[in-house]
Structure 1
């Protein structure tokens, strides 16, 4: 049976060791900078104040990252994923080169697929295909769990331009997590060091070194990584979209992991796994975007009143109970049916304010009185009227990708 009594304490202790790795804190700092950038984007696009929650979000992301790291570590040890002799050193350079084509290609799903295909077709570089693709699968499985639990947090309101040219409201979902994860390293049968000897049937993935797997001795080493998630929520709420994205990514990860294990025994499946790694990931992204733009947008102007896209926490609107998806009807008995009317009423509105609005999915009528201090923003972002000029650019093309687009436009005339 699997030696849980040996492995689980070793995994926990190795994860704790990651706290003393300077690289882990470098990744935490980079994550904090990303959350600061997101807060600045809210201020720049909508004039919303930047709250003091950047470090709170960073600490929460670090906590989720540790939980995800424990899950990923357990899976990596369970399937016998070892860093020894696998050729993982090539992953980061290839991923960075691919990023020059498109920013979303900074992902091991694409680099792992390219490296595996190159090995199968040309024999270079020398990598352990099953180990590389299994690592890609485990990291994405951890990412799917993190998206499920926290992918909807901190959604940023934005205006999108639909394929038909209409400006619609929605959210960008962006989360970043520092991930300490435990990996195996093969010491070898003749090395006398502290390690973990595994049963004969283990590992499911053959080690990337020569020798009898039953006699090999392994040690656990901490590895620091960072995971990021980016998505759009237009026809679904951020919570609904993150759950759907987690499901799609989880299915992709399990399929890739199964192919990585089986390709050790059936050669043709190595080609299938190498192709599925990037194309399956692209399919997940494509289906997610298509479902959002083809669905009925949630954040469009209502038949009366002004729709609410997002609300600033602790603002006047927030204290009145207004939330995303509500419809504001009257402010101090003044009807508001458009953004210009809303701005005109709010210009001289301070002190006690009576707000009448429709709340929640059932659009229940509510009337609340709240105090607004002079000079303070009311605190909610209205849905777009449809003719706004400002809209988010969804292109993620890198320098080479933009050069190719410009070159192709010149060729076509």
Structure 2
């Protein structure tokens, strides 16, 4: 119980301390800016935003805090600890830097590998040139002390593994939120899909082994059970039970970004989450080898990003070689997405439905649906197929002339060049900014 309360105390301190809370506010603002772009894109494609930028951001922060608490509890009970002079906090700074520079590398597998490799490189220099001293700007530098990072590689990779476990859980329960409908061309057919992107802000508490029991407000003796720590090769097992330790929490950002054309949003989030959990288990197992020596530590540092890339490549292979889910054909027009509170939503039309007939007439193209909506005198009905050979009819009788159906169709044919608006970055930015301004006025 002492470990749990101490972990929660460290998280609470991070949430209430002014300086640390300011970091959270800054990260939340960055996420809000990203979510603003997401909602504008949804409005351009769907006709309405599925969630507001504020809702998306609040959920990322609130869910992230709970996820950070869970991750911190797991790390604490495992007994992962770092030297008081360790620069383990750099993993969070590197990850945030990657978020701005190359969002793909926001994952802790990459920031952890970078930090671990630098630490191992400095350790190698300190051992090879232990007796060498350099005069740098009038100061004598002993190369034996050059490893200023003092990173425990095994502990570092266990932290990365736990964060990926938590990320996998987050992706499963929240990864589909904010999805954007997208289209691509395959075999001269248009296929629909979804682009999913979510980031969460996590406060993560870590143990630090300190040299004395000076009370700093966070340093105290923690009552520990006999079975703790779970990892018997943890640095804590080499210390007395009443060893002085400090718990401190840092803010980190974990991210998830993918595109799917072979699954719906829920299925993709589930498969991606399971993949992350499997990766977390593999990395956790590999991290135990770090206690065997320098070469094993180097292996684990290399394993982390390579195994992560392997996982992503397997998922890409499944996407490329999988059967497209959202394709219109001779039988009817496929529904990719439905706008909330729209006539289609009220009729019960869902993503993945195949519209076969409109007003008792077979649908040839998506234009047939638009024409029927204009000529139907406020009434429109559909015959649709949901699943395999499961047909049903739905109707709506309050359709006004200026009200959209709220359906994102998958076009049956690839449009000709004369029907395609050529991409122009400046023009697109102009449209994007105009829609964003309109959205601000509405809010």
TM-score per shorter chain, which class? 0.7 to 0.9
Partner of 2:144: none
User: How much has 1:149 moved relative to structure 2?
Assistant: 1.5
Q: How many residues align?
A: 385
Conserved in 2, the CA contact under 8 Å of 1:151 and 1:229?
yes
- Structure number with larger C-alpha Rg: 2
Provide the rounded CA distance (Å) in 1 between the counterparts of 2:35 and 2:99.
21
Conserved in 1, the CA contact under 8 Å of 2:60 and 2:201?
yes
Q: CA 1:96/1:13 → structure 2, altered by over 3 Å: closer, same or farther?
A: closer
User: How much has 1:380 moved relative to structure 2?
Assistant: 0.7
Provide the rounded CA distance (Å) in 2 between the counterparts of 1:33 and 1:99.
13
Normalised to the residue count of structure 1, the TM-score between the two structures is: 0.82
* SS of the residue 1:289 aligns to: helix
Q: CA 1:55/1:148 → structure 2, altered by over 3 Å: closer, same or farther?
A: same
Whether 1:159 aligns to 2:183 is: yes
Provide the rounded CA distance (Å) in 2 between the counterparts of 1:150 and 1:347.
38
User: How much has 1:168 moved relative to structure 2?
Assistant: 1.6
- Equivalent of 2:8 in 6, 9, 12: 12
User: How much has 1:142 moved relative to structure 2?
Assistant: 0.9
Whether 1:302 aligns to 2:362 is: no
Provide the rounded CA distance (Å) in 1 between the counterparts of 2:172 and 2:36.
23
Q: CA 1:137/1:17 → structure 2, altered by over 3 Å: closer, same or farther?
A: same
User: How much has 1:287 moved relative to structure 2?
Assistant: 0.8
Partner of 1:66: 65
Q: CA 1:119/1:188 → structure 2, altered by over 3 Å: closer, same or farther?
A: closer
Provide the rounded CA distance (Å) in 1 between the counterparts of 2:118 and 2:202.
29
Partner of 1:264: 291
Question: Which segment is superposed worse, 303-312 or 116-125?
Answer: 116-125
RMSD, aligned α-carbons: 3.1
User: How much has 1:12 moved relative to structure 2?
Assistant: 2.7
Provide the rounded CA distance (Å) in 1 between the counterparts of 2:34 and 2:98.
21
Conserved in 1, the CA contact under 8 Å of 2:261 and 2:319?
yes
Provide the rounded CA distance (Å) in 2 between the counterparts of 1:171 and 1:376.
25
Conserved in 1, the CA contact under 8 Å of 2:46 and 2:406?
no
Question: Which segment is superposed worse, 97-106 or 292-301?
Answer: 97-106
Whether 1:326 aligns to 2:353 is: yes
Provide the rounded CA distance (Å) in 1 between the counterparts of 2:387 and 2:341.
19
Provide the rounded CA distance (Å) in 1 between the counterparts of 2:179 and 2:398.
27
Q: CA 1:117/1:381 → structure 2, altered by over 3 Å: closer, same or farther?
A: same
Partner of 1:30: 30
Normalised to the residue count of structure 2, the TM-score between the two structures is: 0.77
Structure 1 unaligned residues grouped into runs of 5+: 394-413
* SS of the residue 1:351 aligns to: coil
Question: Which segment is superposed worse, 327-336 or 272-281?
Answer: 327-336
Q: CA 1:165/1:322 → structure 2, altered by over 3 Å: closer, same or farther?
A: same
User: How much has 1:329 moved relative to structure 2?
Assistant: 2.3
User: How much has 1:50 moved relative to structure 2?
Assistant: 2.9
Partner of 1:54: 53
Partner of 1:184: 207
User: How much has 1:51 moved relative to structure 2?
Assistant: 5.2
Conserved in 2, the CA contact under 8 Å of 1:334 and 1:345?
no
Map 1:217-232 → 2, pairs under 5 A: 217-232=244-259
Whether 1:173 aligns to 2:196 is: yes
Question: Which segment is superposed worse, 330-339 or 71-80?
Answer: 330-339
Conserved in 1, the CA contact under 8 Å of 2:357 and 2:384?
yes
Provide the rounded CA distance (Å) in 2 between the counterparts of 1:291 and 1:114.
29
Partner of 2:427: none
Question: Which segment is superposed worse, 120-129 or 369-378?
Answer: 120-129
Q: CA 1:106/1:369 → structure 2, altered by over 3 Å: closer, same or farther?
A: closer
Map 1:287-366 → 2, pairs under 5 A: 287-349=314-376, 351-360=378-387, 363-366=390-393
Map 1:70-89 → 2, pairs under 5 A: 70-82=69-81, 84-89=84-89
User: How much has 1:201 moved relative to structure 2?
Assistant: 7.0
Partner of 2:430: none
User: How much has 1:254 moved relative to structure 2?
Assistant: 1.7
Q: CA 1:151/1:350 → structure 2, altered by over 3 Å: closer, same or farther?
A: farther
Conserved in 1, the CA contact under 8 Å of 2:355 and 2:382?
yes
Provide the rounded CA distance (Å) in 1 between the counterparts of 2:211 and 2:4.
21
Conserved in 2, the CA contact under 8 Å of 1:232 and 1:289?
no
Whether 1:110 aligns to 2:137 is: no
Map 1:234-245 → 2, pairs under 5 A: 234-245=261-272
Question: Which segment is superposed worse, 246-255 or 357-366?
Answer: 357-366
Q: CA 1:363/1:61 → structure 2, altered by over 3 Å: closer, same or farther?
A: farther
Provide the rounded CA distance (Å) in 2 between the counterparts of 1:15 and 1:92.
16
Cα-to-partner distance string for 1:207-263 (whole Å, 9 max, x where unaligned): 49xx83645222322322222211222112221121111111111112212222331
Conserved in 2, the CA contact under 8 Å of 1:320 and 1:370?
no
